[in-house]
Amino acid sequence: MTAIDLTDKTYKEFITSSSVVIVDMWAEWCGPCKQLSPIISSIATDYPQVKVGKVNVDDYPEIGKDNNIMSIPTILVFKDGKLVKTIVGAFPKTQLINQMSEYL
């Protein structure tokens, strides 16, 4: 499975899944976001039971505003449609997995 590019039309339905959902908030100009991108893709592959999506906050600023995104990259973790964890910053894959381990 790969990370799905989300839009203002697909975001709300995507996060209300009964499974665990991870959403990467990013922007094209953001260096740390670019470093995190292959890690997010590998999480989508390694954990097929988890839905993984990406939101470009420049293209969809309302999604960022609705989620109080103050800096990027920010990873949002949802379970049963509820936000359960927010991770701000770029981390190596092992650290990121450790921060989300209780939901994977």
> For tokens 């991870």, what's the residue?
22
Number of domains in the chain: 1
Range of the domain at 10: 4-103
Amino acid identity of 44? A
The CATH number of the domain holding residue 54 is 3.40.30.10
pLDDT tens profile 32-75 = 999 999 999 999 999 999 999 999 999 999 999 999 999 999 99
Task: Please say whether the beta carbons of 40 and 25 come within 8 A.
Answer: no
pLDDT tens profile 10-31 = 999 999 988 899 999 999 999 9
The pTM for the full model equals 0.95
Catalytic residues: 30, 33
Nearest to 13 by CA among 79, 88, 81: 81
